[in-house]
């Protein structure tokens, strides 16, 4: 048996072991590609407000109004956006698990929508993409292994695609639409797979970085990174309790507006316990996340607390820190704007088609009648 035949067998059996999972991951990724743009259209009734030349309500007042809508639940944060955008009050907890967003008019406190995110279509799609709708401890390892197998399949597929000579090369770059369906299916699998190989491999690797810490650390350290990749909130100094400042989140919110004139969104996090710090997340480009400033303050003294992980001030981020911060925006294509999202969409769509066309190639060969003697 030749090396190419061995690679072909490996490619086939890797496809059998991961095909269905890869299909689910790719389809959900395809559906999620334009979720920001789609939601902006279908949720306009409660995400947009009439812009006014007036001040927003401070976080403490927004918090009081929101807590009346979800009694017994503590708000995680409130996010302010552009003058025509509703404020978003996020309620999120792991145990007991819940996730709500309250959309509110930031000028007068009118509640526009109380949304259970666990019933949101794109949230459900995302859970399928991450965990196959299984418990995270079960689903995440399965998606990681399937994605690793898919990367190996793309590499072995490229080897199988590689033409032996110039004559064969002419047939490897285009689909013969006039041919029989079996030949068209073969071309769809091979030609589309070739053109999208490196796009899909980059998407797969950036997807693995989310859940596979070994790979994330290897990439980060190779790029010269020296910080921690694990987000960890610093603590306030409880010894300063006697010096506590009234309405600390409101004061910091005013300070963030003064210090970040170019901010498109400002998200203020409410302290959960007496030890919690106050986090302010400031984004100067609401279409991406990698340039965000994450700032932490002592809730009693409002003194800024430095952090040892990559999610701190953007001005303090080194090249390796920025690379890991970019990971999500690279994965979804947002790093390149709308063209990047289109590329991610078609990459996911073609990736979803490969297990199907590959199975049909195998099934067609299996059913192929032997030539008469």
In this prediction, residue 127 carries a pLDDT of 96
Per-residue pLDDT at 368: 61
Tens digits of per-residue pLDDT, 33-44?
A: 999 999 999 999
The confidence score (pLDDT) of residue 187 equals: 87
- Helix or strand run (H / E) with residue 267: strand 265-269
Domain edges within the chain: 3-35+125-226+333-367, 47-124
> Scanning the structure block, which residue is given the tokens 């793309």?
154
Q: Is 204 left (phi over 0), alpha (psi -120 to 50) or beta?
A: alpha
Q: Is the distance from CB of 310 to CB of 294 less than 8 angstroms?
A: no
In this prediction, residue 366 carries a pLDDT of: 72
Q: Which helix (H) or strand (E) holds 184?
A: helix 181-211
Torsions phi, psi for 91 (to 5 deg):
-110, 115
pTM, full prediction = 0.89
The predicted structure's pLDDT at residue 76: 94
Q: Which CATH class is domain 47-124?
A: alpha beta
Half-sphere exposure of 2 (CA within 13 A, CB side): 4
Low-confidence ranges of the chain (pLDDT < 50): none
Q: How far apart are CA 137 and CA 143, in angstroms?
A: 11
Output the pLDDT for position 162.
Answer: 83
């Amino acid at each position: 048996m030749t090396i190419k035949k061995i690679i072909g067998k490996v490619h086939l059996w890797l496809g059998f072991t991961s095909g269905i999972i890869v299909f689910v991951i790719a389809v959900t990724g395809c559906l999620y590609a334009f979720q920001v743009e789609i939601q902006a259209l279908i949720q306009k009734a409660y995400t947009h407000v009439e812009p006014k030349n007036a001040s927003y309500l401070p976080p403490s007042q927004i918090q009081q109004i929101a807590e009346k809508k979800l009694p017994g639940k503590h708000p995680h944060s409130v996010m302010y956006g552009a003058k025509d955008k509703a404020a978003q009050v996020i309620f999120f907890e792991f145990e007991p698990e819940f996730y709500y967003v309250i959309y509110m008019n930031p000028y007068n406190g009118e509640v526009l929508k109380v949304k259970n995110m666990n019933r949101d279509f794109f949230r459900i799609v995302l859970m399928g993409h991450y965990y196959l709708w299984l418990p995270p401890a079960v689903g995440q390892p399965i998606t990681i292994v399937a994605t690793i197998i898919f990367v190996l399949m793309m590499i072995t597929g490229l080897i199988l695609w590689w033409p032996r000579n110039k004559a064969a090369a002419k047939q490897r770059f285009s689909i013969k639409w006039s041919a029989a369906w079996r030949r068209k299916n073969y071309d769809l699998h091979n030609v589309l797979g070739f053109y999208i190989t490196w796009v899909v491999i980059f998407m797969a690797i950036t997807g693995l970085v989310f859940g596979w810490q070994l790979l994330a650390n290897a990439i980060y350290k190779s790029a010269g990174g020296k910080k921690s990749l694990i987000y960890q909130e610093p603590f306030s100094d409880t010894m300063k309790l006697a010096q506590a400042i009234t309405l600390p989140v409101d004061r910091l919110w005013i300070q963030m507006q003064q210090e970040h004139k170019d901010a498109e969104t400002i998200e203020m996090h409410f302290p959960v316990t007496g030890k919690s710090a106050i986090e302010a997340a400031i984004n100067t480009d609401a279409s991406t996340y990698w340039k965000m400033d994450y700032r932490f303050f002592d809730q009693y003294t409002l003194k800024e607390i430095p952090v040892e992980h990559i999610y701190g001030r953007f001005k303090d981020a080194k090249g390796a820190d920025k690379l890991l911060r970019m990971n999500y925006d690279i994965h979804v294509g947002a790093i390149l704007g709308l063209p990047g999202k289109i590329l991610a969409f078609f990459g996911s769509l073609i990736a979803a088609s490969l297990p199907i066309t590959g199975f049909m190639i195998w099934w067609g060969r299996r059913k192929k009648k032997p030539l008469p003697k």
